Structure 1
Amino acid sequence: MVNKNLNQQQLEALCGVLGHTNDGFTKKELSSLLIKSNIVLVDDGSFNNGYVYKTGLNKKEWLYNCLVNEINMSHSMEKVYAFLEIALDPVSFTDDSKREKYRCILEKTNKVLLLVGLTVTPEGKLQEVVAAKTLDEVDRRVNSLQKQLYNRAIHREVQKYCIADYLRKDYYDAVFEAAKGLAERVRDITGLKTDGGKLFDTAFSTNDPYLFFNSMQTDSERSEFIGLKELLASIFHLVRNKAAHTPKINWKIEEAKALDVLTLISFAHKYLDECHKMPNK
């Protein structure tokens, strides 16, 4: 549960993003999202009786009034934050034509929220993070993260497990969770319940494997199959086991090293994309 509050300036900036003339939501979309969040739609001041037409508040000002009215009535940010999660739920942007709009709104929203100590994850969930202190830090943590993950083609499974920790600048947990995700992926493919070395030895047994991604008919194919098992085991020895047995305060990892490790884990996931469960298992 999020316990932080937004002040007037922060709320206005957020409404400026969501109600932006070109890049934000339309008035109709905002109305639908507010209704889904059980937030009252306040009068925008527009008037039209067929003879006289009066322009009301713009989208940003009207949205701000709706949210402030809710806060004043409930003395809580609960519905405002629910509105934010509903608005940025990725399920509403699955169409390819909507993807760029979603990325734009999410990035700009997070630039505002990071200064408060909040972020909306790629899953559309609001989380508390370490607050950014400067605009340069905001740009580095939002733009740089997305750009570096994109440039390195980081696998979606890695992003799923680590992006919230990364935004908190908690690189220890980011690489730890991403490494655990490899074992979970192998368990999902094979149905096995074990962990670590035992899991990989069983899944990639050359005599009785639980999965396959090539026919293992040639020395090269067998070598590649064993190589993937050894890569997974090496990552666990390098990251998972070390993190599991070392106090967090004693295991230092900077951003550049974290990205290198995440890239390695991503490479392993791309191999696992090609793996299938053996038919007889």
Structure 2
Amino acid sequence: MKQIDEICVEKITRILGDLVTGNTITELLAKNHWKDHDTESKSPIYSTKWRRLKASMIYEINRNHAPTPFFKLIEEIMNPASFSRDEQELWNCNLTEINFTLSFYGYELNDAGKVVSIKPSTTFNEAFNRSQNLIDKLRKNNVHEKVILYCTPELLDENYFHAILEASKSVLERIRELTNSTLDGNTLINEAFKAKNPAIVIHGNLLENDNDKSQYLGLKSLLNTICYFYRNPTAHSPKMFNEQNEDDAITAFLLISMAHQKLDNCFTVRFLD
């Protein structure tokens, strides 16, 4: 893994400097007991924000013989909780720019705002493609937020096998919540979507004609397919999908997202337990 150097620190502190005020920098450095070259000198220097951050981080990295303070600074300024709902684009743009640089050094800032280790990028295109992380791609395809919520840690490690497993489990958990049930798997789905005695129904679907019944059966089949393909342990084999292939993962997430979107239009008529 490549050692964090001055080039890396400068590129990222230029990004971070645009996200904070001078007073915030003063508070951050004081809170973490990091050297503040501006305020600690006999005559205040009043550096630009990014230069002030860079000077402090270079000093702290050398003092600690580790990039830990630098990573903590990134995590504090890029804390997702610090960004409002209207700042999603701002968050994503800065995340992409930071990760483009970090990827050459074997690190990445994940969607939870934590710096994690990854396989280092060796080319410009590799770094660029990785910085366009999978979550961005899923959001561009309008993947349901519940899918992303359940599998974010796995996604950012590019652990598609476990990400798909967690996402598929989210569908079953949602059906359990709707039906107040402790059942699991295909048993849960088949009990909740009995056409003659349903626990869950689709808004506007009275199951009175062939079209209504076909729509209802289609949703039930979709849920069972997700369970058979991605949830049941025996279904997890390389024959079903390549767990290292991003395209296969996106296909699975789109299918699971469709299930959540359909469940958004459903309501409970009876509990199973």
Task: Give TM class, smaller chain.
Answer: 0.7 to 0.9
- What's 2:254 paired with? 263
2:145 corresponds, among 131, 145, 156, to 156
What amino acid does structure 1 have at the position aligned with 2:26? S
Which residue of 174, 187, 203 corresponds with 2:176? 187
Give the distance between the partners of 1:46 and 1:240, measured in 2 at CA: 57
Deviation larger for 179-188 or 75-84: 75-84
Residue 103 of structure 1 is aligned with which of 88, 92, 101?
Answer: 92
1:193 deviates by 2.5
Give the whole-Å Cα distance in 2 for the aligned partners of 1:78 and 1:244. 41
Q: Which moved more, 1:104-113 or 1:116-125?
A: 116-125
In the alignment, is the contact (CA less than 8 A) between 2:8 and 2:101 conserved in 1?
yes
**Counterparts of residues 28-39 of structure 1 (less than 5 Å):** 28-35=23-30, 38-39=32-33
Equivalent in the alignment of 2:36 = 42
Contact persistence 1:115–1:138 (CA under 8 A)? yes
Q: Secondary structure at the match of 2:195?
A: coil
Counting matched residue pairs gives: 269
Q: 2:185 touches 2:227 (CA, 8 Å); kept in 1?
A: yes
The whole-number CA distance in structure 1 between the counterparts of 2:183 and 2:9 is 48
In 2 relative to 1, CA 94–243 (structure 1 residues): closer, same or farther, beyond 3 Å? farther
Query: Are residues 165 and 138 of structure 1, via their aligned partners in 2, closer, same or farther at CA, if it must alter by over 3 Å?
Result: farther
* Deviation digits for residues 14-70 of structure 1 (CA, Å, limit 9, x no counterpart): 2122124xxx4332333344455x243513279999xxxx86322222102222333
- Pick closer, same or farther for the CA change 1:196–1:88 going to 2, 3 Å: same
Contact 2:144 2:261 (C-alpha < 8 Å) held by counterparts: yes
Change (3 A) 1:152 1:178: same
Paired residues for 1:78-227 under 5 Å: 78-96=68-86, 98-143=87-132, 145=134, 148-214=137-203, 216-217=205-206, 218-219=208-209, 220-227=211-218
| Shift in alpha-carbon separation, 1:147–1:80, aligned structure 2, 3 A | closer
Is the Cα–Cα contact under 8 Å of residues 115 and 131 in structure 1 kept in the other structure? yes
Report the equivalent of 1:231.
222
Q: Distance in 2 between matches of 1:79 and 1:104?
A: 23
More moved, 217-226 vs 107-116: 217-226
Matched, 1:276 2:271: no
Separation (CA, whole Å) in 1 of partners of 2:239 and 2:6: 37
**Residue matched to 1:56:** 46
Q: Give 2:9's aligned residue.
A: 11
**Contact (CA 8 Å) 2:179, 2:199: kept in 1 or not?**
yes
CA contact (8 A) 1:10 1:112 kept: yes
Partner Cα distance (2:62, 2:47) in 1? 20
SS at match of 1:127: strand
Q: 1:45 to 1:82 in 2, by over 3 A?
A: closer
Q: Alpha-carbon deviation of 1:178?
A: 2.1
CA distance in 2, matches of 1:95, 1:35: 29
User: Shift of residue 197 of structure 1?
Assistant: 0.3
* Paired amino acid for 2:226: I
Whole-angstrom CA distance in 2 between matches of 1:185 and 1:35: 45
SS in 2 for 1:106: helix
Q: Is the 8 A contact 1:161 1:178 kept in 2?
A: yes
- Secondary structure of 2:165 counterpart: helix
SS in 2 for 1:56: coil
State the one-letter code of the partner of 1:18.
L
Shift of 1:213: 3.3
C-alpha distance in structure 2 between counterparts of 1:249 and 1:115, whole Å: 33
Task: Kindly indicate whether the alpha-carbon contact (under 8 Å) linking 1:46 and 1:56 is maintained by their aligned counterparts in 2.
Answer: no
Q: Provide structure 2 residue ranges, at least 5 long, that are not aligned to the other structure.
A: none
Any gaps of 5 or more consecutive residues in structure 1? none
Normalising by the residue count of structure 1, what TM-score does the alignment of the two structures yield?
A: 0.78
Q: Is the 8 A contact 1:171 1:258 kept in 2?
A: yes
> In 2, Cα distance between the equivalents of 1:110 and 1:264?
28
